[in-house]
Amino acid sequence: MNGYVTMIIFVVAYLVLAPFVGGLLAGIDRKITARMQGRVGPPILQPFYDVGKLFEKEPITVNKVQDFYVLCFFIFILATGAFFFAGLNLLLVIFTLTIASVFLIVGAFSSNSPYAQVGAERELLQMMAYEPMVLLTAIGFYIFSGSFDVSAIVNLSGMPFFYLIGIFVGFVFILTIKFRKSPFDLSMSHHAHQELVKGLVTEYSGKTLGLIEIAHWYENIFLLGFVFLFFCNGTWWGYLIGVVVCLAAYFLEVLIDNSFARMKWQVAINSAWIVALCLGIGNLFILKFLLMV
């Protein structure tokens, strides 16, 4: 009974707080980016102003189904995070995340705009690039803890990080793709790259675009939750290290974003798969070996 209460508290806290924390992180990101480029940069609350503005705009859609797909994307992203923070099965979480991305891609395809379609194709390639590493991360947690359940992993006595260092580095690598940062911001990006206009979200405007932005904040917090999971060992200092490493990982992604130009999709797939093979599978073998002796 007690378990259910904490579960509900965590889910509600995630659903309420994640957009605020995510938006704040996005604002800090833009400020740091500006400072790295020698600019003053927008106010920290700028992402909230942007979304507020988008919700004030006149609704224009290419076709009716598009809005439906975006709504599904939004709901499934929320479900992904909710499942994760409820402590449910990691595989369920990953597959829900995949379904969410599929809705966004189908929505972009349905618009028939060449920019959105190229963006959608690139998003598919990106999914192919990061998916193996995400699955290996879940498998790594399973081999280490004997369970796919997040609630079981959180309360382990040992810190998963020490056994899963390779997988951790690999996961941070694919975070660049998931956060839509250069060099892997192929399908859409936060900056004004003119090559593909806005890629995936070219045809979305107003409220729909605002929803995608909020979903992105939810998704970022959920992904940082994954990073946090590596440092859980059932004690408060483990949680503290987890939060600090989450912030450090976020800063690292901002730094990478500002130091690279956009690369071709071939580089994204090749590098992500090589990382998954070497660091991910290599780590799994070593872990299995360590647990046997």
Residues near other proteins, by CB under 8 A: 30, 34, 37-43, 46, 49-50, 52-53, 55-60, 192, 194, 197-198, 202-206, 209
- Minimum distance, C-beta of residue 60 to other proteins, in the bound complex (Å): 5
DSSP assignment of 61-127: -S-HHHHHHHHHHHHHHHHHHHHHHTT-BHHHHHHHHHHHHHHHHHHHHHT--HHHHHHHHHHHHHH
Minimum separation from the CB atom of position 7 to other proteins (A): 36
Please say which residue, 202 or 283, places its beta carbon nearer to other proteins: 202
Shortest distance, CB of residue 276 to other proteins, whole angstroms? 34
Nearer to other proteins, 125 or 197 (CB): 197
Which tokens go with 276?
């998954």
Q: Of 87 and 119, which has the nearer Cβ to other proteins? A: 119
Cβ of residue 198: shortest distance to other proteins, in angstroms?
5
C-alpha 78/C-alpha 93 separation (Å) is 11
CA distances from 55 to 19, 163, 174, 208 (A): 15, 46, 31, 8
Q: Which residues contact 74 (CB under 8 A, 6 or more apart)?
A: 211, 212, 214, 215
DSSP 3-state of 195: coil
What is the rounded CA–CA span in Å between residue 164 and residue 284?
Answer: 8
CB atoms within 10 A of CB 49: 13
Q: Could you tell me the smallest distance in angstroms from the CB atom of residue 26 to other proteins?
A: 13
Q: How far is the CB of 49 from other proteins (least distance, A)?
A: 4
